[in-house]
Amino acid sequence: MSDLHTAPIAVVGGTGPQGRGLAYRLARAGHPVVLGSRDADRAAGAAAALRALPGVTAPVDGAANRDAVLRAAVVLLAVPYQGHAELVGSLADVLAGRLIVSCVNPLGFDKGGPYGLPVVAGSAAEEAAHLVPTATVVGAFHHLAAPLLLDPEADLSHEDVLVCGDDAQAKARVLALAAQVTEGRAVDAGRLRLAAQLEPLTAVLISVNKRYRTRSGVALTGLAPAVKEEVA
């Protein structure tokens, strides 16, 4: 992964709100980004729209998912859980050996509102790890509201990004990226398996959003105000 700092970060699902929002914040922090989509033209259109947003200094391109992954060392998965296994499986050969950042929230919705979907692997992050055993998987960015990510004026520095993973070096790298995305605090939440707790917590946030008409996020108490992480 010697090209980690020059290669773009790929965002699979880069035309969805979460993917575009994370891509915007990463590009604003100076990281080249390539949006991936099933449809290369849609990805190119979304990339053009991001380039027009304030503060974007790094290149933002669009490509078909497979081509986006091939250009990157770090790949964000920002896709709906529905179809997740099929999509990751179809990209397994190009995801091999890469650092996967899973931002996937396995949620269901019915008349009672949002709820966490059962996942056989425990979590979407662990599912990706099973499907691409040579990749390193880290879970992060589950709780940042997409409309806030995409709002150039929104201050995210009070939001915690909880990061989980079993590879310390990869986790440190994602912690550093997360602190750049929010210009705030990134928290080492522990093992990858705790993605089973982080992912469906988003159901609670959506429920709170509806009740309080807000865009809620997570902050932990009991931590120092700024646990800044630097890229190793």
Contact set with a copy of itself (CB under 8 A)? 112-116, 145, 158-159, 162, 187-191, 193-194, 196-198, 200-201, 203-205, 207-212, 214-224, 227
- If the CB atoms of residues 134 and 214 are measured against a copy of itself, the closer one turns out to be 214
Considering the complex, what minimum distance in angstroms separates the CB of residue 112 from a copy of itself? 5
Considering the complex, what minimum distance in angstroms separates the CB of residue 116 from a copy of itself? 6
Cβ burial, residue 110 (10 Å; 0-12/13-18/19+): exposed
Considering the complex, what minimum distance in angstroms separates the CB of residue 119 from a copy of itself? 11
Considering the complex, what minimum distance in angstroms separates the CB of residue 17 from a copy of itself? 17
Distance of CA 169 to CAs 1, 29, 115, 137, 166, Å?
Answer: 12, 21, 32, 11, 9
Encode 55-67: b = buried (16+ Cβ within 10 Å), e = exposed: ebeeebbbbbbbb
- If the CB atoms of residues 49 and 218 are measured against a copy of itself, the closer one turns out to be 218
Compute the distance between CA of residue 6 and CA of residue 1 in angstroms, rounded to an integer.
10
- If the CB atoms of residues 89 and 108 are measured against a copy of itself, the closer one turns out to be 108
Per DSSP, 166 falls in state S
Compute the distance between CA of residue 14 and CA of residue 225 in angstroms, rounded to an integer.
31
- If the CB atoms of residues 77 and 203 are measured against a copy of itself, the closer one turns out to be 203
